[in-house]
Amino acid sequence: MTDSQTRISKTQPATTATQATAAAALPPTTAQCGIVTNNLNGATAPVIIIAGTPSCPAALSISDRYLNDHTVTAQGQGRFAVIDGWNCSWPYLPDRSHADSYLQCVDPTGNAVKIGD
């Protein structure tokens, strides 16, 4: 993985109770793994790790399969699909219209990636 493929946000370890409380309020570490292209319409979207520690190759593979694998059938308005144990969907997000939300996939251990911004 090169620096141009991954952008990671890091926080320093907390050393006091005040720092620990402040650190707990911060969002989880995120990493942009790359870009996936929807072969149907040519649209591109970033693939970003939003929880856990999945590898970027795994995140990109699941994202590509979700968008492009014809054997994966997304169901309903939420585009629900299960791919190799990952539950993928088009979630409703606070403060966003459904059309402006991203796609996401979550595995049973809590690893999560979002597809889009």
Task: For residue 9, give every residue at least 6 positions away whose Cβ sits within 8 Å of its Cβ, in sequence order, or none.
Answer: 27, 29, 30, 31
The pTM score is: 0.72
For the sheet containing 31-37, what is the strand order?
A: 7-8, 31-37, 44-51, 112-115, 103-106, 86-89, 81-83
Measured from the Cβ of residue 26, the count of other Cβ atoms closer than 10 Å reads: 9
Closest to 59 measured CA to CA, from 115, 2, 1? 115
**Hey, what are 77's tokens?**
């308005």
Per-residue pLDDT of the chain (117 residues; tens, 9 = 90+): 444 433 333 333 343 333 333 333 334 457 899 999 999 999 999 999 999 999 999 999 999 999 999 999 999 999 999 999 999 999 999 988 888 899 999 999 999 999 998
> Which residue has tokens 């088009």?
90
